[in-house]
Amino acid sequence: MLAAPSLVRAQGAGSIKIGEINSYTAQPAFLKPYRQGWELALEQVNAGGGVLGRKIETIFRDDAGKPEDAVRHAGDLINAEKVDLLSGGFLSNVGLALTDFALQNKRLYAASEPLSDALVWAKGNRYTFRLRPSTYMQAAMLVEEAAKLKARKWALVAPNYEYGQSSIKWFKELLKKARPDVEFVAEQYPALGRIDAGATVQALEASKPEAIFNVTFAVDLTNLVRQGNTRGLFEGRDVVSMLTGEPEYLDPLGAETPTGWIVTGYPHADLATPEHVKFRDAYKAKYNDYPRLGSVVGFDTMNSIAAALAKAGTTDNEKLIDAMEGLKFPSAFGSAEYRAIDHQSTLGAFVGKTALKDGKGVMVDWRYADGAKYLPSDDVVKTMRPAG
Amino acid sequence: MFDLILTQTLNGLASASSLFLVASGLSIIFGVTRIVNFAHGSLYMLGAYIGWTLVTWLGPTSGLGFWGGVGLAALLVAIIGVVIEVAILRRIYQAPELFQLLATFGVVLMIQDIALATWGAEDKLGPRAPGFKSFVILFDNRFPTYELLLIAIGPLVLALLWFLFQKTRWGTLVRAATQDREMVAALGVNQRLLFTSVFAFGAGLAGLGGALQLPREAATLHMDLSMISEAFVVVVVGGLGSVTGAYLAAVLIGILHAFGILIFPKITLVLVFLVMAVVLVVKPYGLMGRRPVGAARGTATAEPLLRPADRAAKLAGLVALILLAAAPLVTPDYLLLTLTELVIFALFAASLHFMMGPGGMASFGHAAYFGLGAYGAALAVKWLGAPMEPALIFAPFLAGIAGVVFGWFCVRLSGVYLAMLTLAFAQIAWATAFQWVELTGGDNGILGVWPSHWAVSKTAFYYLALAICAACVVLLRVMVFSPLGYALRAARDNPLRTEAIGIDTMRVQWVAFTIAAFAAGIAGALFAFFKGSVFPTYMAIPRSVDALLMVLLGGVQTVSGPIVGAFAYAGLSEQLMKMTMYWRFTLGLSIVLLVVLFPRGLVGGFLALRERRDRSDKDGAVVTRLATEGAP
């Protein structure tokens, strides 16, 4: 404890800098709320005196959805701006590029949003931590519900890129394990953002499934739902759907929202835990808008970094990483932890059903699925993570 | 099974309609003004957004509110078209061919930010159309009535266009201008009015296409770019300037999509480009296109003669090189990262320029070779365990071999058809990298492609990149003034005369194509080691567009243009990205301003200035221009 004041002096009294790289212009629907959530947390942390007696400062950079631009910003941020650590990433490939950059440059990278399993497992490394529940975790949460359904014949639809493909892979693998009697009768992989909804709906319909697992989101989801509603694809069928309960994707559906879908998401209006109410009130007061899931991710990422800094007592990245392994941090969903074994946080998601209320889509019958319960056993994780 | 086939056919026809509306506008604009309107997808997007606003405002439940809103949206987009034409394009009709593309790309960037600021980030799902909200039972399937309406609208618009072009004076003029623009001008037709009205008409069609999508698709900020590439494909497959061809092609693409997902659900991304490649190889001018008549005369101003560098230029080049070589001594470390990237882009741009300037072969897909070079390096590292040095040598050969194969097909075409075939091949290469997950890691890319130990430091890698890129650029320059370069320029300026003196023009162009691909591969390999990872985005359309912009911005018909263009464009976009979240608007505006101020590119503008000064000094003693006149 005696060393602390001299440590602060040695690091200089300037602010702690975080370089935050994200696809702000390419994915504004998620990332505008994200940035607002981040700035809210930043304001709160700094209002409380910052961490280690220093204010935190964020330098935001837009990667335009390109991994190579993200890497350029990362290099510029650590060399020119002298940031202490990196954060951000929305697309999985941007996240992976930053993961590898972090390893090469021995710099902490707090990945907030990218869902790819590879980020913490196959390509995981000492320098990368990830906040969001991964593709595996969200698929596992939904499989738990899907296994309870009577349906045996499943049709699958997912955007044609890594997130979509690995969601399907895990869903099939885990569901088959829980229910050996299921079969998968159709798979559709529309190009991301370019779904030919009418034709896709018809192709799914033709396989006469009893249930549908959907991974499409954003505009693909909207178009799929409209065509599916008109053509009766969802009538009399169970639908299980990734991310659909997130306000970012649920709100554009409006009165078109299909009811009774089993989804992962975020019931922002009804979640009444004290942490969340506090967060939501502060968010509403600052932005005069309700929070989206992106807001929570931004808010939590910032807060988890502040918690790590406070615990480490230094910005030295190696010590910061040691502090972050097993770190418990406050979240708008309650408390969560960065696992020491694979640097995945245990932040969960809400699983519930979609419903219509006053012409808008909402989630009902939801429960919080704690991320810690939807991860493979430690032995399995170790085999999947060569970095250890 | 039979009912599925019929339903999918109807689905294909329904999506063909709006594709046709957008593509026919694009085709008419190109036919008359020779402008490759990159902003056409943006006009389509504006049509959807403006339509959404108007329909919501006028009342989506009443027929008048909905259809009035759709019509009004088309009209408003037509007016926006007038503004773009009068404010920007009219000033640069005399610029070299394709240069206008640069301006329209600037408009694309500006509209992206304007749309985001105006309508926000959330997707806008439009209301269903009054009277067409439900479905009918067709072949035991529920089929939306609105899709039936769309199926009818396509041929209806086609018939209207046919009537307009065959039976009205305006239509006759448009057809005449499509065939031979100079002749129409010589006959005293008011070109300004014709061009403006054609642009407005095409824009209006795009706006209508966008607004009509509202009941079936949400308006999003990404619909501009996803539409434009497909609309280009339709226009080219149909045959430039042919409206009937555009309809046929739209139907072909629509139906292929609908059936493609039944048979190959994973290749929807590339299917249209595969089809385009096949069509262009079999029918070089598209399904309904004809060999252009007036185009052979060249629509741009005569191109200035390239001359070997005089002493001043050599000195300037040397000084620039010395400055770059001395940079690590004075600049802080982090600037070296920027400089390394700029140097690599300069080689990339110079390689495209080699085929585009002296070769006269514009490529819309040059990123393919850049990307293949990068993948060559990454694959060598990942699968062969090669260190950096052999990987750097191996990589360009992958790009070069692709250049040999793709080039063989491409040099058989010319102009925009050639450009679109290069785009098709680039998309095929991109889709391979994207889809072949076992080999390439798919969109998650290949990680861990870092340089050898000695080149890890920023300074060392900078010198490595500078040495290789400078040597390659000088070599490309030497080749421009070698017999090969002269033959290449001859083939560009007059293929018939060139053939007559015994030069195999196709072979010369093929060699140039391969060299350009090889050089781009070198740049790509360096880029891979610089970034440490490789992704399919390296060969996606935006990177091809970047290369094109660099060359055009610098000036196509100058040798040093691409280098200046690379530094200007990449430097500008990088700085703007750092400075403001509205960098797209700022960058777009800068591009538009540069284009209007320097219609021959930056270096071209500088040379023109110098030329004018020389001329007044020596009273025209210096012959600086060579007319490219001489149609067969």
Residue of B nearest to A92 (CA): B444
- Quick one: CA dihedral A175, A180, A181, A186, positive or negative? positive
- Give the pLDDT confidence score for residue A3 in this predicted structure: 40
Is B95 in the same domain as B25? yes
Q: What mean pLDDT is predicted for residues A47-61?
A: 94
Q: What mean pLDDT is predicted for residues B72-88?
A: 96
Q: Which residues of A touch B266 (CB under 8 A)?
A: 160, 189
Give A56-116 as a DSSP string. EEEEEEE-TT-HHHHHHHHHHHHHTS--SEEEE--SHHHHHHHHHHHHHHT--EEE-S---
Distance CA B273, CA A281 (A): 51
Is B289 in the same domain as B316? no
Angle, CA B222 vertex, CA B13 and CA B26 arms, to 5°: 55
Pull the structure tokens for residue B25. 């506008």
Is B255 in the same domain as B329? no
Q: Which domain holds residue B228?
A: 2-297
Q: Among A67-76, A246-255, B330-339, B523-532, name the one with the lowest average pLDDT.
A: B330-339
Q: At what angle do helices B561-579 and B333-356 cross, to 10 degrees?
A: 140
Confidence of residue B631 (pLDDT cuts 50, 70, 90): very low
Confidence of residue B617 (pLDDT cuts 50, 70, 90): low
B90: how many CB neighbours lie within 10 A of its CB? 16
Q: At what angle do helices B388-410 and B505-531 cross, to 10 degrees?
A: 150
* Model confidence at B288: pLDDT above 90: no
Say which residue the tokens 């707090």 belong to: A110
Tell which residue, B289, B79, B78, has the closest CA to residue B202: B78
Confidence of residue A30 (pLDDT cuts 50, 70, 90): very high
Q: What mean pLDDT is predicted for residues B290-312?
A: 61
Tens digit of each residue's pLDDT (9 = 90 or more) over B239-274: 888 899 999 999 999 998 889 888 887 777 788 888
Q: Number of A:B CB contacts under 8 A?
A: 192
CATH 3.40.140.10 fits A136-269+349-378, yes or no: no
Q: Which residues of A touch B461 (CB under 8 A)?
A: none
Cβ neighbours of residue B507 closer than 8 Å, sequence gap 6 or more: none
Q: What is the mean pLDDT of chain B?
A: 88
* B57-82: b (≥16 Cβ within 10 Å) or e: ebebeeeebbbebbbbbbebbbebbe
Is B193 in the same domain as B50? yes
Is B8 in the same domain as B88? yes
Distance CA A117, CA A96 (A): 10
Q: Report yes or no on B628 lying in a domain.
A: no
* Model confidence at B295: pLDDT above 70: no
According to DSSP, residue B301 is labeled P
- Total domain count, chain B: 2
> Contact B424/B397 with Cβ under 8 angstroms?
no
* Model confidence at B613: pLDDT above 90: no
* Model confidence at B307: pLDDT above 80: no
Tell which residue, B441, B462, B452, B438, has the closest CA to residue B534: B441
Tens digit of each residue's pLDDT (9 = 90 or more) over B589-607: 999 998 888 888 888 888 8
Tens digit of each residue's pLDDT (9 = 90 or more) over B147-183: 999 999 999 999 999 999 999 999 999 888 877 878 8
> Contact B452/B495 with Cβ under 8 angstroms?
no
Confidence of residue B495 (pLDDT cuts 50, 70, 90): confident
Q: Which residues of B touch A72 (CB under 8 A)?
A: 337-338, 341, 531, 574
Q: Among A113-122, A159-168, A267-276, B330-339, name the one with the lowest average pLDDT.
A: B330-339
- Quote the minimal CA–CA distance from A295 to chain B in Å: 14
- Give the pLDDT confidence score for residue B605 in this predicted structure: 81
Tell which residue, B3, B26, B102, B11, has the closest CA to residue B552: B102
Q: What is the mean pLDDT of chain A?
A: 93
User: Which residue has better confidence, B84 or B60?
Assistant: B84
- Give the pLDDT confidence score for residue B304 in this predicted structure: 62
Is B289 in the same domain as B321? no
DSSP E strands in B530-586: the ranges are 533-534
Q: What mean pLDDT is predicted for residues B109-116?
A: 95
pTM of the entire predicted model: 0.91
Say which residue the tokens 């409380």 belong to: A48
Q: Which of B297, B322, B357 is the last residue of a domain?
A: B297
Confidence of residue B317 (pLDDT cuts 50, 70, 90): confident
Say which residue the tokens 């993200």 belong to: A70
Is B279 in the same domain as B317? no
Query: Helix or strand or coil: residue B625?
Result: strand
Is B284 in the same domain as B190? yes
Is B386 in the same domain as B246? no
Q: Which of B240, B265, B297 is the last residue of a domain?
A: B297
Tell which residue, B531, B519, B509, B529, has the closest CA to residue B396: B519
Query: Helix or strand or coil: residue A262?
Result: strand
Which strands make up the sheet holding A153-157, listed edge to edge? A183-188, A153-157, A211-214, A238-245, A262-265, A349-357, A360-369
Confidence of residue B618 (pLDDT cuts 50, 70, 90): low
Distance CA B549, CA B567 (A): 11
Using a 10 angstrom Cβ sphere, with 0-12 exposed, 13-18 middle and 19 or more buried, the burial of residue A387 is middle
**A75–B337 CB contact, under 8 Å:** yes
- Give the pLDDT confidence score for residue B299 in this predicted structure: 40
Distance CA B69, CA B433 (A): 43
Q: What mean pLDDT is predicted for residues B99-125?
A: 92
Q: Where are the domains of chain A?
A: 4-134+272-348, 136-269+349-378
Pull the structure tokens for residue A340. 């020491």
Tens digit of each residue's pLDDT (9 = 90 or more) over B404-459: 999 999 999 888 889 889 999 999 999 889 888 889 988 889 998 999 999 989 89
CA–centroid distance for B446 within its chain: 27
Q: A106 and chain B: CB distance < 8 Å anywhere?
A: no
- Give the pLDDT confidence score for residue B630 in this predicted structure: 32
Is B277 in the same domain as B407? no
* Model confidence at A17: pLDDT above 80: yes
* Model confidence at A162: pLDDT above 80: yes
Residue of A nearest to B448 (CA): A100
- Quote the minimal CA–CA distance from B252 to chain A in Å: 14
CB nearest B116 (choices: A28, A75, A96): A28
- Give the pLDDT confidence score for residue A13 in this predicted structure: 62
Cβ neighbours of residue B463 closer than 8 Å, sequence gap 6 or more: B325, B328
* Model confidence at B628: pLDDT above 60: no
Q: Report yes or no on B50 lying in a domain.
A: yes
Q: Among A97-111, A230-244, B184-198, name the one with the lowest average pLDDT.
A: B184-198
Tell which residue, B556, B548, B547, has the closest CA to residue B601: B556
> Contact A370/A346 with Cβ under 8 angstroms?
yes
Distance CA A205, CA B139 (A): 13
Residue of A nearest to B543 (CA): A66
Residue of B nearest to A94 (CA): B444
Q: Which residues of B touch A76 (CB under 8 A)?
A: 334, 337-338, 578
The dihedrals phi and psi of B565, each to the nearest 5 degrees, come to -60, -40
Q: What mean pLDDT is predicted for residues A207-222?
A: 95
Is B236 in the same domain as B362? no
* Model confidence at B133: pLDDT above 90: no
The dihedrals phi and psi of A58, each to the nearest 5 degrees, come to -115, 135
Tens digit of each residue's pLDDT (9 = 90 or more) over B374-399: 999 999 999 888 899 999 999 999 99
- Give the pLDDT confidence score for residue B622 in this predicted structure: 38
Q: Which residues of B touch A89 (CB under 8 A)?
A: none
Q: At what angle do helices B333-356 and B458-480 cross, to 10 degrees?
A: 20
- Quote the minimal CA–CA distance from B260 to chain A in Å: 10
Distance CA A145, CA A143 (A): 5
Q: A219 and chain B: CB distance < 8 Å anywhere?
A: yes
Distance CA B476, CA B353 (A): 10
Tens digit of each residue's pLDDT (9 = 90 or more) over A326-375: 999 999 999 999 999 999 999 999 999 999 999 999 999 999 999 999 99
- Quote the minimal CA–CA distance from A159 to chain B in Å: 10
Architecture of the domain spanning A4-134+272-348:
3-Layer(aba) Sandwich (3.40)
* Model confidence at B310: pLDDT above 80: no
Say which residue the tokens 């609208």 belong to: B153
Q: Report yes or no on B306 lying in a domain.
A: no
Is B225 in the same domain as B329? no
Give B81-124 as a DSSP string. HHHHHHHTGGGGTTSPTTHHHHHHHHHHHHHHHHHHHHH-SS-B
**B268–A253 CB contact, under 8 Å:** no
Query: Helix or strand or coil: residue B51?
Result: helix
Q: Which of B540, B562, B579 is the last residue of a domain?
A: B540
- Give the pLDDT confidence score for residue B416 in this predicted structure: 83
**A252–B124 CB contact, under 8 Å:** yes
Confidence of residue A11 (pLDDT cuts 50, 70, 90): very low
- Give the pLDDT confidence score for residue B296 in this predicted structure: 44
Q: Which residues of A touch B225 (CB under 8 A)?
A: none
> Contact B546/B565 with Cβ under 8 angstroms?
no
